[in-house]
Amino acid sequence: MNVVLIGAQGSGKGTIGQLISKEFEIPHISTGDIFRSALKNQSVLGKKIKQYMDKAVLVPDELTFEVVKERLSMVDCFKGFVLDGFPRTLNQAKALDSVNGLSIDFVIELLIPDVISVERLSARRICSKCNVIYGLGNLSKKLGVCDSCDGKLFQRDDDKSTFIESRLKEYHKLTTPVLSFYKKKGFLYSVDATKSISEVYSSVSKVLKR
Ligand code: AMP
């Protein structure tokens, strides 16, 4: 089962992606996570993308696609995958579409208004050890500490208020054509993502079990 999650920043792609991965036993592949980890490890990829990540703008399509293609060719993806944060531009969607032997089964759009994105991004905190995402609907029990592994929670640099508006603008401009692309193909499903995580996940899971 090959799934793509699309949604504005703060729509819950990461959390929903992790839940799909757990239930359907397929890897959750977040391009944002891959890039952040490359940056942290100062790898060759990390050095190439630093200039874009620092400004919270998109990494060029070619480089992003190269990274995704390599990841999807790994053995754990043979039975399926859930892509989070890719494709984000029409070029990326077309590139994914052109991979031989690969077809997407479900594209799920997590719909939220911008005002909720802003609210959620300002409150989002992530565990530095296990990547669990905390936010308004699921605060950690101890301030700044992960419930699952005691890891320290951090706020992403690009979640700070200076970057939020431009990231949302970029999302709408570049991702709207991606949604039309998948709508025409007939496998776009839109889910109201303003509800609680369990309600949103229940809608998503129903779509995936069709
Ligand atoms: P995210 O965690 O999905 O919000 O992504 C964080 C950052 O990673 C973005 O602001 C981009 O700089 C980069 N990034 C993630 N996914 C993509 C993508 N599909 N295309 C280009 N850049 C990306």
Task: Assess whether pLDDT exceeds 80 at residue 42.
Answer: yes
Averaged pLDDT score across all residues of the chain: 94
pTM here is 0.90
pLDDT at position 163, please?
A: 83
Tell me whether residue 167 is one of the annotated catalytic residues: yes
Sign of the four-CA dihedral 126, 82, 172, 113: negative
Strands 125-127 and 153-154, by their bridges, are antiparallel
Q: Ligand 1: list residues with CB < 6 Å.
A: 9, 31-32, 35, 52-53, 56-59, 64, 85-86, 88, 92, 158
Task: Assess whether pLDDT exceeds 90 at residue 156.
Answer: no
Q: What is the mean pLDDT of residues 183-208?
A: 95
For residue 35, what is the enclosing H or E element?
Answer: helix 31-40
pLDDT in tens, 3-20: 999 999 999 999 999 999
Tell me whether residue 124 is one of the annotated catalytic residues: yes
Report the alpha-carbon distance of residue 125 to residue 142 in Å, rounded: 12
Q: What is the mean pLDDT of residues 112-123?
A: 92
Q: Are 126 and 133 in contact (CB under 8 A)?
A: yes
Q: What is the mean pLDDT of residues 16-29?
A: 97
- The helix/strand count (H/E) of the chain reads as 8, 8
Q: Please choose, from the candidates 187, 205, 189, the residue with its C-alpha nearest in 3D space to the C-alpha of residue 197.
A: 205
Task: Assess whether pLDDT exceeds 80 at residue 37.
Answer: yes
Q: Ligand 1, residues 33, 88, 155, 159: which to mutate, most atoms within 8 A of Cβ?
A: 88
Q: pLDDT-based confidence at 36, cuts 50/70/90?
A: very high
Tell me whether residue 141 is one of the annotated catalytic residues: no
Report the alpha-carbon distance of residue 16 to residue 5 in Å, rounded: 9
Residue nearest atom 8 of ligand 1, based on CA coordinates: 32
pLDDT at position 56, please?
A: 86
Q: Measured between alpha carbons, how far is residue 101 from residues 21, 46, 77, 97, 186 in Å?
A: 22, 29, 13, 10, 19
Task: Assess whether pLDDT exceeds 90 at residue 107.
Answer: yes
Cα–Cα–Cα angle for 77, 64, 13, nearest 5°?
A: 65
User: Ligand 1 centroid vs 58 CA: distance in angstroms?
Assistant: 6
Q: What is the mean pLDDT of residues 118-136?
A: 91
Q: Is the peptide bond before 27 cis (omega within 30 degrees of 0)?
A: no
Tell me whether residue 210 is one of the annotated catalytic residues: no
Report the alpha-carbon distance of residue 88 to residue 1 in Å, rounded: 20
